[in-house]
Structure 1
Amino acid sequence: MSKKQILLINDMAGYGKVATAAMLPILSYLGHPVYNLPTALVSNTLDYGKFKILETTDYIKDVFPVWKELGFHFDAIATGFIVSERQAKIVADYCREQASLGTAIFVDPIMGDEGKLYNGVTAATINSMREMISVADLIFPNYTEACYLTSGKYNADGVSFEEAKRLLDDLRLIGTKSALITSIVVDGTPSVAGYNHVTDKYFSLPYTEIPVHFPGTGDIFSAILIGHLLDGELLIPSTQKAMDGVYKLIDLNKDNKDKNRGIPLEKYLGIL
């Protein structure tokens, strides 16, 4: 089977395995030709508390006409960190145009975790992510992000499966076809909840939590998930493989001294 070409539109960290730096090696290892367009250049993972970010919106605006003139086309586009409303509109318009030519659009609306928004994320950022979701085939916010996107109430104790289904429906109203919600406690168990528009089915997949924090695990999840979907696998088994991959990588690295740099992926790609 011929492998699918994918474009990553996400930030690029100089120090740390997150965003593009985490997704590119995984998708490449899974055999897919990977291209990238940085939404921002980031000095290091934000977990260090001090960082420098260079927004690349003007560069992106000038890249798309060149690619159009050259006739470049991608089988899939995966978007992550979007810096501004202006950038979101430019990227969403390009995704909409590519989707009309058959490109699958995957959106990770990166904004926050554990009930809080990340540093620098504002109401404008949330609107930007809603713009991105409006063109998506599949989105995978975590529970915090799903609540902010839908103006829903975050419950630290988790939700029932029925409440998870309602939250998925609220995300679908923004425009996405299918949706996953990661890092959500469903009926007392850490889970990934989802809706598959192809089968019109809701589901919840439980997982065992390892109590350590690494930046970039959401990007690892996204890359494994997308890699298997692009190989024609179904949403539930692809999601399960992504969950299993993240668990194994965290377990193998849980004793690392400097967790802020993320997981040193290249050493462990074989387990995927």
Structure 2
Amino acid sequence: MTKALLQVHQLSKSYGAIKACDRISFNLFPGQVLGIVGESGSGKSTLLSAIANYIAVDEGNVTYTSRNGEDLEIFQLAEAKRRLLMRTEWGFVQQNPRDGLRMKVSAGANIGERLLDIGVRHYGNIRDEAAHWLQQVEIDPARIDDLPVQFSGGMQQRLQLARVLVTHPRLILMDEPTGGLDVSVQARLLDLLRSLVRNFHLSVIIVTHDIGVVRLLAHRLLVMQQGQVVESGLTDQVLDDPQHPYTQLLVSAALTP
């Protein structure tokens, strides 16, 4: 039986009287895409930030099985080891690509910075690898010296993907990666994401309010409301035959023109 890549157990986080996450548990397996949906304030982005250890939790734990087979308790990692993990085996894709990029350095430098972080020092190799990953995310490698501010929003999001993927992570956390993009740009980005997930056997947790995004990308689905998971299962089963009234409402709203 395949071992889970990530185990989230009884994760809880409150802000005063508000329970943003309430005893949430799930497993993520290699090559699996897990979608987390819910309206604004449901706790989905808090959950993602908690998994990444960007915020402290009240209780619960997250266990990750590393590339070398070691089980890592994420909340107990020393800060240096956590940072190394986020630069190598994990990646985080921000909703606003400007939060995930260095806007005052070139596209190539944005990608190359992650390579420098893991000890690559040969300038020619770094530049070649940056050009390769620009091509992987459908950006002309001739734009390697352009600043991100010269790119459209969709291109900035693709550049952020290249920056994350250059170190060949096994787990990607995505927070509303298509938010704020025009519909046509969203469609192109989703096609690219689906291709990258398949080609590189990525495991992904994707947070979104967009039912269409998870239907296209996610194998499994968690539906969150007021900090709790109210429904979970295979994506098609949950969306085609929702059982919880809140899920029914979300699906109905997505179908309304």
TM-score (norm 2): 0.34
Larger RCO of the pair (alpha carbons < 8 Å, separation 6+): 2
TM-score (norm 1): 0.33
